[in-house]
Amino acid sequence: MLIYSIRRLIQTIPVVIGVTIVVFLLMHLIPGDAAQVIIGEGAPKEQVEKIRENLGLNDPLPLQYWNYVSGLLQGDLGDSIRSNRPIADEIFKSRFWITVELAIYSTILAVFLGILAGIISAVKKSSPADIGVMFIALFGLSMPNFWLGLMLIQYFAVDLGWFRPSGWGTWSQTVLPVITLGTGGAAIIARMTRSSMLEVIGQDYIRTARAKGVRERIIVYRHALKNAMIPVITVIGLEFGGLLGGAVLTESVFAVNGMGRYVIDSIRARDFPVVQATVLVLSVMFVLVNLLVDISYRYFNKRIDFD
């Protein structure tokens, strides 16, 4: 397993390099001038050129990219153009952990609701319960997160006053963003759990267990569910990685000061170093989550050999 993990980590290096190149080029193709944003629209051209020179924006793109990568290899994510502070401090002191916390809570909710709904739907195939669960799952999958967030704020925060509509840290501030972000993931996990459970329930060893008089609950949860979890784990890992990078709209709707909102503010201000650093951090996190998912397969299926 150790050799497999090291091999997978090495395979992620070209992916991370590709991400840095794509993001670097896309940020420079966006119309506008970062130096002009810093100094203001009415500033003299001489001052704008001086700032461009200090920031290295007049250098050729390959040289700018090389300087950026050289800093990364030394553990330096660069400095923010807007605040002139180290980006690593702005990310890892608060924003990153808020987004991770939001993603973890949302994933837990999605896994709990999704697996439970998928089991009910598979065990009661073609019944009203199955149809109802899949209809709700389809509705949750098609519903935009930002719309759901606005509806939850209007009803539970404004009308009823049960929760706070913005911010992060207290229980009343956490519930609505977690529900908003976890609903779509729960729908996807429910559909995958149902499909995988139906495939496993039709196997011969399940029929044999029933013929031996094993209780249905043991058959479902100990035999069927554990063997059906391999594709479900893949979906869960992808959902968690997607939630890390996809919390932009949710954080904006609920005014959560996390990575997503940080990226949006930086794009608006054309703060290139911040955008590049945040995308890189989220990409590395996504890759590591996928690695953990691959390793966890061994727990659910002992026959898997990484070597």
pLDDT tens digits, residue range 205-227?
Answer: 777 777 777 777 777 777 777 77
Confidence at residue 301, expressed as pLDDT on a 0 to 100 scale: 59
Handedness of CA 61, 63, 64, 66 (dihedral sign): positive
- Give the per-residue pLDDT at 194: 84
Residue 250 structure tokens = 């949710």
The span from the CA of 154 to the CA of 157, in Å, is: 6
Q: Please write down the HEC assignment for all residues of the chain.
A: CHHHHHHHHHHHHHHHHHHHHHHHHHHHHCCCCHHHHHHCCCCCHHHHHHHHHHHCCCCCHHHHHHHHHHHHHCCCCCECCCCCCEHHHHHHHHHHHHHHHHHHHHHHHHHHHHHHHHHHHHHCCCCHHHHHHHHHHHHHHHCCHHHHHHHHHHHHHHHCCCCCCCCCCCHHHHHHHHHHHHHHHHHHHHHHHHHHHHHHHCCHHHHHHHHCCCCHHHHHHHHHHHHHHHHHHHHHHHHHHHHHHHCHHHHHHCCCCCHHHHHHHHHHCCCHHHHHHHHHHHHHHHHHHHHHHHHHHHHHCCCCCCC
Dist. CA 83–CA 79, nearest whole Å: 8
> What pLDDT, on the 0 to 100 scale, is given for residue 166?
78
Q: Domain boundaries in the chain?
A: 2-73, 100-268
Nearest C-alpha neighbor of 32 from the set 272, 276, 259? 272
**Which position has the token pair 């994933």?**
107
Per-residue confidence (pLDDT) for residue 70, from 0 to 100: 81
Q: Please give the torsion angle defined by the CA atoms of residues 108, 111, 113 and 117, in that order, rounded to the nearest 10 degrees.
A: -170
Token duo for residue 245: 């990078």
Amino acid letter at 175? V
- The 3-state secondary structure of 28-89, one letter per residue: HHCCCCHHHHHHCCCCCHHHHHHHHHHHCCCCCHHHHHHHHHHHHHCCCCCECCCCCCEHHH
Q: Which two tokens stand for residue 47?
A: 């001052």
| Partner residues linked to 79 by β-bridges | 86
CATH 1.10.3720.10 holds for 100-268: yes
Per-residue pLDDT of the chain (307 residues; tens, 9 = 90+): 667 667 777 777 787 788 778 777 776 676 666 666 666 666 677 776 777 776 677 777 788 788 777 877 777 777 777 777 888 888 887 788 888 888 888 889 888 888 888 888 887 777 887 788 788 777 777 777 778 888 888 888 888 878 888 777 788 888 888 888 888 788 888 888 888 888 777 777 777 777 777 777 777 777 777 777 778 887 887 778 777 766 777 877 887 888 877 888 777 777 777 877 887 787 778 777 777 777 766 665 555 555 5
Q: What is the pLDDT of residues 126-143, one digit of tens each?
A: 788 778 878 877 777 777
233 close to 297: Cβ distance less than 8 angstroms: yes
Query: Cα torsion for 236, 237, 238, 244, to the nearest 10°?
Result: 110
Q: Around 256, how many Cα atoms within 13 Å sit in the side-chain half-sphere?
A: 33
